Structure 1
Amino acid sequence: MTEINKTPYAHDAPPPPPTRPLEGLYTADVTLVGAGFSGTIAALELARRGLSVALLEAGEIGRGGSGRNHGQCIPVFNYLDPAELPPAGFALLRDSGRMVFDMIEELGIDCAPVQKGWLNAAHSPAGLARAQAAHAKYAAYGKADRFLDPAEVEELSGIPGYLGGWVHRDGGHLNPLAYVRGLASAAKEAGVRIFTQTPLIGITRSAQGRWLLRTPHGEITSRKVGLTTNAYGTQVIPARLRKSIVPITSYAVASERLTKAQRAAVLPSGVNFSDTRRDPMFFRVDTEGRIITGGLVEPRRGRLTEHTFEGFTKRLTDLYPVLEGLQWTHHWSGTVGISARQRPAIFELEDGLWGLVGYSGRGVPTSAALGRAFAETLRDPDEGAKLWPSESPARIVAGRAIGLAVQGFRGTINKVRDRLES
């Protein structure tokens, strides 16, 4: 049976920590709004530094983008540049993939983590040049070994015909719902007061300079507030933050569990896989033996379930004939936030009111780095700037229309570019 707008993650994830809605009056040094990857990591870091922290979530833990993630940790970023970032921030982002799995081990999070690396395979001569350039960059940062020849790519992926490739050793995958629930459990154990089913309905500043956050059945006052809703902010979130990103709808699909023979053929090394096509081809096999893949919603692919399933069955069967007749069980979507500079951004909206947005589809590794940077900024803005400088929100006019235009034309344009490169 196909489950629409549902992920398979809940079938395998441990339950979230016990929480309840906010009722009554509370005070905290810092209140965070949005209990996804960033909110839970920032809350945990602040509590470890001795601050009293409240964390508000409009639904349940993992309801938003974090629990709907593709579950891939791909620590590869166009903006990873030592000339653009402070040294400490560069190192934080460079090591973000390793940090994810170190944190999982440290906190004992049961989220099916697999860190066998991320394989980028070159499908054409032009793709080979791009892969070689990316490899040179990350090899210089100590994150990749030598460039792979076609036989080595086939050994890792089970796919013949690629021209070469490379592996980012810190890449991997996990159950994102289990991961965010585990982060929330760790934050709660550290003393964070987590309130779920608690939508924010108002935020104002008092004459004494404290922030008052109103919810349907209670209020919290705080010296500082961190907004970590990213692309899931409601109208209560200041427009300066909401309009600083372009929201784009992403989708994912999950297959039935592979047979023993199929599992032996598909990504036998356990790596995450992407190739260099402009029309992205990326997928992973989770620990339950399901293929999980997806992309940005297009006019048909990602929007029409049967069309999407048929397309991925064909694409994957072309790579692995053993997958002939592959069936799909889940199709869901989420919202990605793209900032004006296409990199995560920390904004000070008003004195003591901060926002963090714009992961551009790299939520697992970037949240590990930016969650820490955001916590440090909320604790001490000068120290936080040494990790990730804050900036003024860019007002993106007609951001939603831009997102729809990207989704409407990007797929077609990329398919044409791939044909021209072949």
Structure 2
Amino acid sequence: MSTKQKIVVIGGGFAGLNFVKKIDKSKFDVTLVDKHNYHTFPPLFYQVASSELDPTSICFPLRRELRKRNCHGVAFHIGKVRKIDVAAKTISTDYETTHYDKLVIALGTTNNFFGNKDLIKDVYTLKSTDQAIRIRNEILFRCERAAVEPDNEKRRRMLSFVVIGGGPAGVEIAGAVGELKRYILKRDYPGIAPDDLSITIIEGTDRLLGTMSREASDTALRDLNQLMVEVKLGRLMKTYNDNVITLDDGSTIYSEMVIWTAGVTGVPIEFSGTDYKAGRGGRFPTDHYCRIAGLEDIYAIGDIGLMTTEKYPKGLPQLAQVAIQQGRFLAKNFNSGKWEKPFNYVDKGSMATIGRNRAVADLHSIHLSGFIAWLAWMFIHLISLLGMRNKINVLINWIWAYFSYNTSLRLLLAGSKYPKRGELWDKG
């Protein structure tokens, strides 16, 4: 029987994967649990949604990653976590119940509809590979359908797109659709006039990219305008019914496809054996050592953790760099058994791309924009991907698309509905 303490990690994203890479497997028995059998790279979801990258280029099998030397000994269990029993120290997934001595929650976030739960049935979201594929298929279908539609008004309604949220994800997907309008339609769909396609981005604050510098916001606004994207600032969506968006000022916009990027909330988890509830934004408040306040032997890292500091009184930003650094920090503390030095987030800057040769980057006191920022954005994202094959595939796709203004990935592919999966013998 092993005398090592068992650490269960929920979530194979940036935080969870960096934790299991750095944890000393000779001291701990480590199990990684995730509802998918692959790691994804969320910053490039929009490129899958816009047919610029294949989904397999931004995903990497977790079992293959765990075969590497620095992960040797880590077990992987597939399953969506349904409940955490704090008293019994167990987690329950769709398929099993697993005991833990220490629990690390690195689930990340999901879409936040700010209390309007009905929106999930009406809008498209961009928080997973599946959702990105769904957006890609819908955009391509609408272009194909509009290309054979003789009625001008019907065609314009089919190609009415609205993006809710002016953060990096919203700006990037709006820019991608803008490039479709400006560069792709006239070549691939000669029967569709560029003016038939409308793309609008709605942001509730007075500027785009609110977490970045004012200069970055102004550059993003200018670039989106050049891509024929209409930008509405200082406006909130109140309702979306019968393809009509009603804004807080009473104005309306017709749109048959709304892409929601307006907010995120922590992935919900049910707790038993305690009356603990998640904090603001569905996140778990932690101390400066990633320990969840009020729960013993349970830690939260990455987007789902809420660690406040003097510089970040509302919590550390929900960025990949925070997740990566916290995963490594927590593993280091477990390995040493010392909890003396608190977590210190090192801000390496932020960036966003608006389209071809269009990007912005805030690197401490340095601001980059245009072609240089675009190259920096591509380099950082390329080296951050898992797997050499993925890196090469993405680089080749980017180079080919840059010189040809084309992509071979504009394929309308949807999974078959039938037959359904056979029932497992132990389904009960």
**Shared fold (TM-score, shorter chain, > 0.5):** no
Higher RCO, 1 vs 2 (CA within 8 Å, ≥6 residues apart):
1
Give TM-score, length-normalised by structure 2. 0.35
